[in-house]
Each structure stands twice: as C-alpha cells, then as structure tokens.
Structure 1
Amino acid sequence: MNATSPHVTIILGTRPEIIKLAPIIRACEDRDTPYSVIHTGQHYSENLNKVFFDQLELPRPEYNLGVGSASHGKQTGEMIIGIEDILLEEGTDVVLVQGDTNSVLAGTIAATKLDCKVGHVEAGLRSFDRDMPEEKNRVVADHTADYLFAPTKQSKEFLLEEGLPEERIFVTGNTVVDAIKQNRELASQKSSALNALNLTEEYGILTAHRAENVDNKKTFENLLEGVDRVGSMLGIEFLYPIHPRARGKLEEFGLKIPEHIRTIPPQDYLDFLKLQNNAELILTDSGGIQEEACILGIPCVTLRENTERPETLEVGANCLTGTTPSEIVNGAATMFRAKSDWENPFGDGRTAQMILDTIQMDVPVEASV
C-alpha cells in the first residue's frame, strides 16, 4: 500500500458505472493506491453485476448495499445511510462517483456531509431537460464536488457557465475510452455472442430503457414501429437486449415485438461490446451507448429529443430523432450512409491515470491548477 496516497472510495451501482470506473480500479491496483469499492446494488440483476466483475477480471467490491429497486427517495435514502457508515469505517479521503445515477447522488451527499472530498467523473454533461432525473443528479453532483473531471472542453464550458470555479475543473477525457481500449480485444477473444445468437448476416442494435420512452404506451409503440420500418428499409434485423422493466411494460401495454426486431436477454459487457463492434447501425436512448458507438466507429441514432453528448453530434457520429417513426427512419437513412471516419472526441485512453494524478497531487482544491 502506498502510504502517501489518499484513500479513495469508489461508489458504483449500475452497469455503466462498473464499466466506466473499471479503468480507475485497475489504475489503483497498478499504483498500489489504497482504495475500496462500494456497490450500492442499484442494478440488482446478477447478470448485470457479478458477471461484470468476473469478466473484466476486477476484484469483487468490498461492500454491497443490495439496495435494489425502489422509489427515488427510498432508494437514495437507503444508499446514503449505508454509504455514510462505510466511509466512516474506511477513513476515506476522496470519494469518486461517475455519471448521473441515484448512486451518484447518494454518494455525493453522504461524502460531503462527512467532509470527504468528492470527485465527479464525467462532470459537466447536460441535456438541459430538467424532467430527467439524471439531469438533476448530475447537476447536484457537479455543484457539490471538489474535483470535476470533465470529459471534454464542451463539458468544461457548461460548468463554467453555471458559475463553477475553473480551478475545480479538469478536462481528462472519458474513462469509456480507457474501457474500450482495455476490453475490445478481450471481447474479440472471449465473446461467443455472434455464434450464440446465430448472426450470419448484417444486423443492427436497439436499446430502449428510459422511462420517457417505455413508460408511455404510445411513445413505446411509436419507437418500436420506427425501428421496424428502419429494419424493413435496410433489410436487417435489430437485436434488442431488453431489460426486465421494459419487458414488463411491453406486457402491460399489450405491445407485440415487430418483425424486424428480435428481443434478446440483457448481455454481459464483453458480449455487448462484441455485438456493438460488429453492428451496422445502433439505435438507442442511452447516453453511454452514444459514446461507445462513436468510439467504435458505428453510426448511431439517438431516440431522444436531446443528448448530454453533443460532441457525438458535432463529429457526425450521431443524430437525434425523438420517437416519431418517420423521423427515426429519416435519421437512420442519413446515418447508415455516413462515413465512420469521425474523430473520437472523448480522449486518448489515459483518463483514469489523469484522474488519479490529480487526486494524488494532494494539493488543496482551491490551490490546484
């Protein structure tokens, strides 16, 4: 253990957080930096949790709160109570949270009440849609954190426009680049997803899970119709790894899966990375998948009216369509023809190292550069 390094506690609770914080966990291991991991259990599916740590060859978290699904208030409150107890026990110096989940909100609140420093990985993302719970979570985290690890210059500008001090902001790139660089070859070697799903022809990928898209019957129906039309137009099938909650909504609304969509179980990270890397087109409402598609060079259509990843639009890797069927078709037609020679705007794969460099300088935030 490096006695001169601050003790870092990494808080995560969902699939994207595991993926994006894995490079920091690996960097802590490589540097012999004292650290601990708290898994809140926000995503409670075994397939979305234990398997990720096993496949990515990461140490299992020392702590798992097992919070599971609940209302926002109950879930966040239980996390705060559990995280506070652990931080006191660990003697944590710096807490790292990533993104915009309830785990981020709970970790930020618990840490700041104990006077731990907080580093927000992926700071400064904005959709400017305050109806999204994620937008509120990321804003609270940004305005509370001591270290704001912005993935791009655009993210830094958003933070500055909100009056946050420049000395707290560090443009580091995004750990998703680190993760893809570390895991792309691993996925190529380990994943048998293409054979398991009998994929011998071109295909696309659909992900749809956000409440605004799947909780309203007409919206969900329109989204599925639009994707089906795209499949018919391009002559390809779209694989839809459907989460239990979205499947429940399908059944509740009495919606049938159209001809050009095939539902499959949620995939582990390496299998999904392999599927993305070989897809012709990705249709999604996920922010993280917009990034991954951009980095992998796969054209993306975002089934939302806004995005907190505007850089993907600027480099020509992505377009916004909402959920109107005709707009989905138009967007897909445009992106399918796009050349995937855009520049990756999210950094060079050294983000985790830069984040630890910043923390380990052990300089008061107000005096840092």
Structure 2
Amino acid sequence: MSVDLPIRKIIHVDMDAFYASVEQMDNPDLKGKPVAVGGSEKRGVISAASYEARKFGVKSAMAGNLASKLCPDLIFVKPRFDRYTEISKKIRRIFHEYTDLVEPLSLDEAYLDVTENKKGNPSASLLAKEIRERILNEIGLTASAGISINKFIAKVASDYNKPNGQKTVNPEEVIQFLEQLDIRKFYGVGKVTAEKMYQKGIFTGWDLKQKSLEYLDENFGKSGRYYYHVVRGIHNSEVKPNRIRKSLAAERTFSENLSSEVFMLEKLEHIAEEVSRRLRKSNVAGKTVTLKIKYSDFTLHTRSKTLPYFMSDKHIILDTAKDLLYQEKLNTSVRLLGISLSNLNTETKKTQEQKSVSVQLKFEF
C-alpha cells in the first residue's frame, strides 16, 4: 500500500561518549579505564563519562563528589573544548560528503537527510554503516546511528544499539516500534514528565496512544499535541542545515560556595566577558539577559531582563546581570552562576525552504 506522506530517509548519528572517547584516544593510558570529563572529586558537574565509568552509574550532569563515591577509581580529566570542536568539524566534513542536509544538534550528534544523497545510494542503512566505518577508520572514534522516516524516530533508534551500533526502523515497522517503546525512551519526555505519565498509567507508547488529544493537552500543556503526534509516527520537522542559534550562555561552578555578593560580582565579570567573546565570535547579539543561580542546596533560580536593543558588549551584559543579582535577596550561598543571552538577532534570519518528499510507504531503507 502506498500513501502520500512527507516520509524521508533520516539518519541520526550520535558519537559514543564523545568527550571521554576523545580523551581516551589522545591519551592511551586512559583506554579501558573509567574516565569523567569535567568536575572533580570535590566539586563541579561531569560533562561526560566513559562507558567504563557508566557501568558504575556515573553519568553526565552528575556531581563529581557523587561520581567518585560510585566509582572510587574514577579519573577526572579537564575538558578541552577546542579539541572536541576540531574533531567535530572533521566528522561533519564526512557527513557533507553524503548530503548537504546536515543539522548538527551539538558537537557530537547530527541529523542527516539522505532521501536524495550524493552517493546515489537508496539504502539509508548502508549509508549509515559506511559513515560510521569512515569515522572509525579516519578519526579513530566509534559512533552509533538510528535510521528511520523522521527525526524523532531516528534519534530514538540511535540509542538502541549503543555503543558502536545502529538500528533501522523501516516504514512498515514504525507503529509497532513506537507502541512497544518505554515512555522513558521517547525523546522529549524527561524524568519529571515520565513520572507524571506513570502516575496516569502511561508506561509505553501503546498506553500513550490510548489518550485523546484533549486529554494530553489538558494534562501536559503545549507538549500534549507533540506527544499525540509522535506516538503515531508523525513528526514533519525537516533537517535544517542552517539551524538558527536561539541563545548563547556561559556558567561557572565554584570550588567553594559563595556567600558574598562582592565575590559573585567578580565571577560575573569573567562570565560576562566569556559570553561577550562567544557572541563576537559567532557575530550575533541579543536583547534578553538571563542570570542563572544555583544555590548550595542545588535549587535553581533564573532571572531575566529584556533590553530595547541588541547588544553584545561585555559591560552592558555585566550591568544587566548585576541588576538581576540585586533584584532579590539571595536565599543562601551560591555554588553556580551563569549568564545567557537570548532573543538573538539570528532569529530574524530566514531559514532555507526545503521540499517535502512524497514517497511510497515501503521502500528500500
């Protein structure tokens, strides 16, 4: 049976424990050992963990002191983002040999639309295998991939056979795949939402599918419509090669909690300088400054202020952040400060228009 739908051949490539794997590749002494990038035994948050560390329950966004308790032999390594960016650019050059429709999500993952590709290969599965082999042979790192009819399913599938594996969800397999999927595996369903769904008897895609659009709207707000459609395999978001940046930020976790605003202002100056540097490097400016404050009890507060003009100047960013800092009395000592700039002038730029592809439901994948 054939239907006219915007079904595409999408590959989601996700590097395996990217930061940690780069460190192990560059330093052979780290190979086969539990490695954490970022953080420390005392403070800080981990950016990435090697698979050897993950066996102990260590994962990204975990506090370093907790990680060291879970894995006493854990090796902490300082992040080298310049190096990760260098490797990422090499990986993207490989992607672009197959298609110009590449949408990076971060340094270590990207979507590729290979419905029509530079190799003239009708099999997205074979293309994904070839891309992964080239990344391994030319760079020395392993990658996993998900292949399916849209971005949502491809991203979910890329996590299935990690590390160094891939999974294809063919068009005729989509519905069954989604119905059997644990709700925690749905991209866009975080820990809090998953718990809420559990309380309402929603454990799998099939359970989610039984709920009406009205029910999901009422219980999950603006995300309800998204859940209603993706569980039915409907996700028409195209791969956007010119993905528009919506915000830019920098933050610092401190080795000791700060209780004095005088010390905080000193830290904010360095953070504002870093944000300004990144803005200039990206040639963008913004109107909305957001101050992020994480207290010693790990509660997180944000305060924002929108100016009537675009700016990227360090002094304006810092002055605005100072105003936000003094806006309310601090609850307790502070362990993290961050500044982000949003409402960027990039949001006024037009993205490229791309054509939807009308294809048969069953075709070579």
Q: Give the alignment's TM-score, normalised by structure 2.
A: 0.27
Kindly indicate which of the two structures has a greater share of residues assigned to strand.
Answer: 2
Kindly indicate which of the two structures has a greater share of residues assigned to helix.
Answer: 1
Greater relative contact order: 1 or 2 (C-alpha under 8 angstroms, separation 6 or more)? 2
Larger Rg: 2
